[in-house]
Every structure is written in C-alpha cells, then in structure tokens.
Structure 1
Amino acid sequence: REKQLEEVQELQTSEQQQQQLSTKKSKKKKDNKKDLPPAIQRGKPISSSITATELYEAYTQIRDEYNLKAFHPSSSSDWNILKSTSDGIEIAMLHHPSDPTCPYVRMK
C-alpha cells in the first residue's frame, strides 16, 4: 500500500510540474506578443462588387500616401541607392519609420 501511495504522489508531482511548465510556456508566448509592434495596415480593402470610381479612389489614396511618405523632403536623404546603371537608371530603397518592415522602392 505504501508503494501505491508513493506512486500516486510521484504522479501528482509529475502532473504539477507539467502544469507549471505549460503555464510558463504560455506566459512566454503572451510576453513575446507584447513585444511585437502593432500590425501595420496598408492598402485598402475592396469588395468584389467595386465600381471603377471606387477602385480609382482607392488607388489615388494609396498613391498619395506613398508619395507623402516616400518623396517628402525629409525623406530625400534616407534613400539607399542599391544600383545605378550606366544609362542613368537608379534603383533605391527607403525604410520609412512608420513601417520599417516594409520598405519603399523607387526606380528613376
């Protein structure tokens, strides 16, 4: 009978340890989510029944937002030139502070 009691106690201890590990893991996952930056929303949601006027309006809003961020005078020195060709084409990239995970690319 004492052996059975010992086995039960060992099982209970083992279960408690597993629960503690599980709690620590889930807490770490939650903590990691807190460290992530908020999701950046880009673009415009459109429905399958969009009209040409609505589509053009969404395009102009996105274009204007891009131009404001990418070609603002304060951003002009932040472009990193990736390649310049002999015929004058320049490819550059800009990491904008509002969304550093998604760079802007320009070709001129």
Structure 2
Amino acid sequence: MRRTGRLLLAWVALGLLAALVVTNAVFLALLQTGGPLIGLVLYVVLLWRWRQRDYRAAVVGGLAGLAVHVVEVIITGWSAYPALVALNLILPAVLALVAWLAGQRAPQGDGNK
C-alpha cells in the first residue's frame, strides 16, 4: 500500500507539473511577456528534477509559484485571463502539498546518490 500511495502521489504531481507547463505556455502565447516564460522554465526544470525523485525541489517550486502569483494578484489585480490566474494560484499550492507528501513517503536513502 505504501508503494502504491507513493506511486499515486508521483503521478498526481507529474500531472500538476504538466498542467502548470501548459498553463504557463498558454499565458506566454497570450501575453508575450517574461513572467510566463520564467514560470514555464521553472516547471520544466521541476519536471526534469522529478525524474530524479527530488521532491523538495517541487515543494519549493510550488511555494515559489504560489507566492509570486499571490503577490502579482495583490499588486496588479486579476488579469484579463482570470481562469489562468486561478490555475496559477491553485496548481502550485496543490503541487507543493503533493510533493511534500510524496517526499514524506519516499524511502530514506543514504544521501550519497
């Protein structure tokens, strides 16, 4: 059951990362600014790090993405694309939680890998 739960969390996190990549790619196409490009690069790197089972990187990336978008909404308000802004607020928060849970369930190695 533990392995199954960890595998399920890994698939959920991969789906969240893929959704964030798509969301930021759409935002980049619509806005053509640097912000979505930074998010796109961040989430692509997190996808790559996830293959190495680096759960902490996904937790930090999710929290950073959430913080950036909360500050953006506070300072500039909702954009012309509220659904994309909502996704950029919700998905990173869920990603941070799922990655943290996956990291808690991961077997502890010796740290030398």
Query: TM-score normalised to the size of structure 2?
Result: 0.32
Bigger Rg, which one: 1
Of Structure 1 and Structure 2, the greater helix share is in 2
Of Structure 1 and Structure 2, the greater strand share is in 1
Task: Pick 1 or 2: higher relative contact order, CA cutoff 8 A, min separation 6.
Answer: 2
